[in-house]
Structure 1
């Protein structure tokens, strides 16, 4: 139990260190990574990791969110995603979809599930990585407001998340500078 408490405290502290809520759009833009090689069909743009946490009884969930964009080298077409990692204690949740303000629900693709550790009592810590495709219009509408959404699990334990306005503005600014 002591080990779980130490992990929960560490996760909460780690969450505070990468919280981008108070960062300026210029700061965010400067942290967007551009990845390209002759082996890739697309240029990848990775926003910085924005972390948050939510208290759930004795434990906290930690969520790590980043915006991603992929530019097709042949067509110039852009695709946008939200990449989410949820770290939690308890049974597997199996995140399957995401809902946006207004009721639009889209499929979330689970790309990785990992057991961090398990206690002799059977209590385990898990990570689930999820990809949510979003439209250019959703990003444009989030400028100046931020992007609020919820990831929905098969178990009914959902997480409401928010990408701050400054993050969205900075990410889009970095993409504009590249073009």
Structure 2
């Protein structure tokens, strides 16, 4: 019975993370994010990788947004954080090429991949994956409020993502405590 209650709490918490970029997320979701963050030890490089659960949203431009935090921790304890983003949309390439945080300058942005997906009647789903570098100080500073990222396309327009507070808290807690 306790396992069933825990599973339902986890599912409910993760589902709530995915609704409409809503900054009003319940605080108990931090625990669900903590539990769902995966730790992988990279034996050869002596580093640990932390992969947070994904948040899935759809914006007004018919863009499917899938994103989540990742961190790499070296043997010396240094952590590098990234927001991994996959944007899937119909038709022509948008060619996303930069990102900015609200009330801040542009951030380091790397295109990981671009590929055309399934096509039907000459229309294809376009997939662009990117990595946005974030500092630990930035994540700590925004842990109580969450943060917004605007991803800009060469061909105009942008995608707006919101990473809620409980997600940051749960992920940062996992990156600090898991694997010790």
TM-score (norm 1): 0.82
Q: Tell me which residue corresponds to 1:112.
A: 113
| Alignment partner of 1:46 is 2:51 | yes
Cα distance per residue 1:56-101 (max 9 Å; x no partner): 2xxx21100110010012x211100000000101211111111101
Describe how 1:56-71 pairs up with structure 2 within 5 A. 56=61, 60-71=62-73
State the shift of 1:42 in Å.
Answer: 1.9
Gap runs ≥5 in structure 1: 1-15
* Distance in 2 separating the partners of 1:135 and 1:82: 10
Residue 59 of structure 2: SS of its match in structure 1?
Answer: strand
Describe how 1:19-38 pairs up with structure 2 within 5 A. 19=18, 21=25, 24-38=29-43
Q: Tell me which residue corresponds to 2:84.
A: 83
| Structure 1 residue ranges (4+ consecutive) displaced by more than 3 angstroms after TM superposition | 20-23
Cα distance per residue 1:136-179 (max 9 Å; x no partner): 11101111111211111111121010011110011011122235
Total equivalences in the alignment: 159
The 8 Å contact of residues 42 and 49 in structure 2, kept in 1 or not, is answered as no
Cα distance per residue 1:30-77 (max 9 Å; x no partner): 000000131234210000011111132xxx21100110010012x211
Gap runs ≥5 in structure 2: 1-14, 20-24
| Alignment partner of 1:176 is 2:150 | no
Q: Tell me which residue corresponds to 1:144.
A: 144
Query: Residues 18 and 113 of structure 1: is their aligned pair in 2 closer, same or farther, counting only changes over 3 Å?
Result: farther
Structure 2 residue corresponding to 1:72, chosen from 71, 74, 85: 74
Residue 45 of structure 1: SS of its match in structure 2?
Answer: strand
Q: Tell me which residue corresponds to 1:103.
A: 104
Residue 77 of structure 2: SS of its match in structure 1?
Answer: coil
Query: Residues 102 and 135 of structure 1: is their aligned pair in 2 closer, same or farther, counting only changes over 3 Å?
Result: same
TM-score (norm 2): 0.81
